[in-house]
Amino acid sequence: MSTDPATIRYYQENAPHYVLSFAQGPSRHLDAFLDRLEPGARIMELGCGGGRDSAHIARRGFGLDATDGTPGMVRKANERFDVGARVMLFDNLDAREQYDAVWAHACLLHVGRADLPGVLARIHRALRPGGWHFANYKLGDADHPDEGRDPLGRLTNLPDEAWLEDTYRKAGFAIAATERYPGKGADGVQRDWYALTLRKE
């Protein structure tokens, strides 16, 4: 999770209600991402939230290290799914070539743009050679063109596609697939999102 105190405070205060307000099924990009991996691959999940994706990863037989920066979210994930989630901020990711994949659904969007290259460097370092990474972001637009606070007070970086792709390439990732799609987050704001599936070069 982001180290932004207001963002962490929002998730901590709203964890019991937040995890119940979303569908119980896994994220729609997850199975396609998992299908790229070898059986039994070891996956780190960043921003595991209430644990729905964590549970699906484990059910499919992969090794799982589920993490979230918010203690309340970690507690909920373990209460609901017993996935062994642990508290970890993005800035505390210090692993070196320990994972075959890093799954980061709807969480890196809370990292300030100036800080994102450093977080991506940590993800790159944590991956084994040829390892996979998924992340998705809310995009900025003419009405909301720059990073700032969303209506819930969370920091949101709101990049565009070109900036994201360039930032990932500079961090040492090859882009395997992208998708732009409409979506609505917890703040109720309709935006386009951008999903990237990437591989460590």
- Of all residues in the chain, the percent with pLDDT exceeding 90 is 86
Residue 22 has pLDDT above 60, yes or no: no
Single-letter code of the amino acid located at 36: R
So what CATH class is 5-200?
alpha beta
Q: How many CB atoms lie within 10 A of CB 62?
A: 19
Distance from first CA to last CA of the chain, Å, rounded? 25
Residue 16: predicted pLDDT: 84
Quick check: 2 and 90 in contact, CB under 8 A? yes
> Which tokens sit at 55?
């549970």
- Is 90 exceeded by the pLDDT of residue 105? yes
51-60, 163-172, 186-195: which range is least confident on average? 186-195
The 3-class SS string of 79-94 reads HHHCCCCEECCHHHCC
Q: In which band, very low, low, confident or very high, does the pLDDT at 39 lie, cut at 50, 70 and 90?
A: very high
In tens, the pLDDT along 49-88 reads 999 999 999 999 999 999 999 999 999 999 999 999 999 9
- Domain limits, the chain: 5-200
Residue 26 has pLDDT above 60, yes or no: yes
| Block residue for tokens 């609901």 | 80
22 or 177: whose pLDDT is higher? 177
Residue 116 is encoded by which pair of tokens?
């994102």
Helices (H), the chain: 5-18, 30-34, 52-59, 71-81, 116-126, 161-170
Contact 66, 45 (CB under 8 A): yes
Instruction: Flag whether pLDDT at 162 surpasses 70.
Output: yes
Q: Which of 191, 198, 138 is nearest to 166 (CA)?
A: 198
% of the chain beyond a pLDDT of 70: 93
